[in-house]
Amino acid sequence: MTKLDTRRPMPEDEVDLFLAFAQNEYRLDLSFYRKTFLGRRINVRMDAVEVNNLTEYLNLLKKDTQEWKKFLDNLSINVSEFFRDPEVFSYFKDNCLPGIFKNKEETGFKRIHCWSCGCSCGEETYSLAIMFREYSGRKNRDFFIKVSGTDVDQDALTKAKEAKYRQQSLGKVTPVILEKYFDNLGNDIYQVKKEIRESVDFKTHNLLTDNLIPNVDIIFFRNVRIYFNENKAGKILLKIYESLRKNGYLVLGKVETLGSLKNLFEPVSINNKIFRKI
Ligand SMILES: C[S@@+](CC[C@H](N)C(=O)[O-])C[C@H]1O[C@@H](n2cnc3c(N)ncnc32)[C@H](O)[C@@H]1O
The string of pLDDT tens digits covering residues 40-58 is 999 988 988 889 899 999 9
Is ligand 1 within 6 A of the CB of residue 30? no
Is ligand 1 within 6 A of the CB of residue 80? yes
pLDDT band of 3, cuts 50, 70, 90: very low
What does the pLDDT read at residue 2? 41
Query: pLDDT tens-digit profile of 189-232?
Result: 999 999 999 999 999 999 988 988 999 999 999 999 878 888 88
Closest residue CA from atom 14 of ligand 1: 118
Q: How far is the CA of 116 from the centre of ligand 1 (A)?
A: 10
Whether 73 shows a pLDDT value over 80: the answer reads no
Point out the ligand 1 atom lying closest to the alpha carbon of residue 228.
16
In the sheet with 144-151, reading across from the earlier edge strand, the strands are: 200-204, 144-151, 111-117, 216-221, 244-252, 274-277, 265-269
What does the pLDDT read at residue 1? 35
Is ligand 1 within 6 A of the CB of residue 32? no
Query: pLDDT tens-digit profile of 56-70?
Result: 999 999 999 889 878
Closest residue CA from atom 24 of ligand 1: 76
Q: What are the residue ranges of CATH 3.40.50.150 in the chain?
A: 86-277
Rounded mean pLDDT, 12-27: 92
**Cα→Cα distances 249→10, 127, 148, 216, Å:** 37, 17, 15, 9
Q: How far is the CA of 269 from the centre of ligand 1 (A)?
A: 23
The CATH classification of domain 86-277, taken from the options 3.30.350.10, 3.40.50.150, 3.40.50.300, 3.20.190.10: 3.40.50.150
Q: What is the DSSP string of 59-91?
A: HHHHH-HHHHHHHHHHHS-----TTSSHHHHHH
In degrees, rounded to 5, the angle at the alpha carbon of residue 238 between the alpha carbons of residues 36 and 243 is 125
Is ligand 1 within 6 A of the CB of residue 277? no
Whether 138 shows a pLDDT value over 70: the answer reads no
